[in-house]
Amino acid sequence: MEIAVVGRNTEVPERFRTHVEEKLDKVEQLAPEAQRLDVELTRERNPRMADKAERIELTLRGKGPVVRAEASASDRYAALDLATAKLTERLRRSRDRKKDRRKAGPGETNGSGAPLEAPAAVEAAAEETPNIRSNGVPTRTGVATETQLGDSPVVVRQKLHDATPMTIDQALYEMELVGHPFYLFIDEETSQPCVVYHRHGWTYGVIRLDTRVVG
């Protein structure tokens, strides 16, 4: 598994880079099919956010769904410890989920006709040179763009993702793996754009869009 460490608005000392590689070396035991682990270190220069000045984002890529974890702390070593703990917990939950599904028996489906272990969409790696339309909309998956709204200080960040239709159950699984409060997907049964999101406790919500054009 390749471990790539990059810094945004900060330098990455060789000592810390070595520490990251040693710290994350065990991740491969939980994700043997992982191909690459991206580690992004960001430093917040606002003195009011000193307790969260160092942010670590981990992105694990492989043959399965992308798994993410991020954390912030006053120093980068503590942030790395927190992010690593989140990542390993999500990988353990993913492994346990696969074991439970295998116990359910081969050939069983999730009710939509798709196999329980059907892979979800994998986010493409970011390109070195962004490919965007004149209005700032990205045209290549994995590319992030930022545009300013007129003369205002508002900056809008956009990113293009591949969309493989999936079930609500799969979308919830993906949302848990990336650690986001919501997840955008295409429902494989209705072909509608949908969002699943956390409500409270163990309850979730689904928002659907009716894309039919009314004449």
Structural domains of the chain, count: 1
- 120, part of any domain: no
* Three-class secondary structure assignment of the chain: CEEEEEEECCCCCHHHHHHHHHHHCCHHHHCCCEEEEEEEEEECCCHHHHHHCEEEEEEEEECCCCEEEEEEECCHHHHHHHHHHHHHHHHHHHHHHHHHHHHCCCCCECCCCCECCCCCCCCCCCCCCCCECCCCCECCCCCEEEEECCCCCCEEEEECCCCCCECHHHHHHHHHHHCCCEEEEEECCCCCEEEEEECCCCCEEEEECCCCCCC
The pLDDT value recorded for residue 134 is: 53
pTM of the model: 0.56
- 173, part of any domain: no
- 118, part of any domain: no
List the chain residues with pLDDT less than 70: 97-136, 142-143, 213-215
Give the structural domain span for 50.
Answer: 2-103
The pLDDT value recorded for residue 214 is: 60
Q: Which CATH number is 9's domain given?
A: 3.30.160.100
